[in-house]
Structure 1
Amino acid sequence: MVKSELIARLAEQNPHFYARDVERIVNTIIGRITDALVEGDRVELRNFGSFSTTVRDAREGRNPKTGAVVSVKRKTVLTFRVGKGMQDLLKG
């Protein structure tokens, strides 16, 4: 599902909202999650999962094609951990 499909389904399930209002709500939620992650905060959505950032230190890696040593810079990566409720649903 892409964001436009999510917005369309939410608008369909909530006919008392205009589609543009649903889009604004979805964008606000995603924006708030993004802002929190940029600030280094952890975002937890109960029974769904949690998003957080992890810093990976600089290191030396290898080019898999040539085997040459390359420098990999320090970077921040997004991590997601599935919540228990979602995990139980996926197991069936």
Structure 2
Amino acid sequence: SKAQAEQALNATLHAIQSSLAKGNSVSLVGFGTFAVSKRAARKGKNPRTGATIKIPARKVARFKPGKALAEVVNTGKVPKAKK
């Protein structure tokens, strides 16, 4: 049902978020890998004033698509869903 699908998706997203929060990566075979990456501190410009500002180091979530997903995106051919 729609409610069960929503519950399953929410549980999956929560598990991915929990793993990333701990610094772990999550691989979904045939789909891709979610990982945490560190961005170094850097200098930037305030677009409104043009003033130079310091942008602090931080962690960001990254996603690398798997082979199967990349192929679907590049060819536009979506395989039939398995029942």
Identify the TM-score tier after normalising by the shorter chain: 0.7 to 0.9
CA distance in 2, matches of 1:60, 1:90: 35
Pick from 38, 55, 62 the counterpart of residue 55 of structure 1: 38
Count of matched residue pairs: 75
Root-mean-square deviation over aligned CA pairs: 1.5
CA distance in 2, matches of 1:33, 1:45: 10
CA distance in 1, matches of 2:67, 2:3: 33
Q: Which amino acid aligns with 2:47?
A: P
Name the % identity: 31
The TM-score, its normalising length taken from structure 1, stands at: 0.71
Q: Note the 1:1-80 alignment, pairs <5 A.
A: 11=1, 19-80=2-63
CA distance in 2, matches of 1:66, 1:81: 35
Deviation at 1:84, TM superposition (A): 0.6
Deviation at 1:21, TM superposition (A): 2.9
Deviation at 1:20, TM superposition (A): 2.9
Q: Deviations over 1:19-73 (max 9, x none)?
A: 3333222211110011001111111111211111111122221223433110101
Tell me, which stretches of 5 or more residues in structure 1 are unaligned? 1-10, 12-18
Higher helix share: 1
**Equivalent residue of 2:37, what SS?**
strand
The TM-score, its normalising length taken from structure 2, stands at: 0.77
**Equivalent residue of 2:50, what SS?**
coil
In the alignment, is residue 86 of structure 1 matched against residue 69 of structure 2?
yes
Bigger relative contact order (CA 8 A; separation at least 6): 2
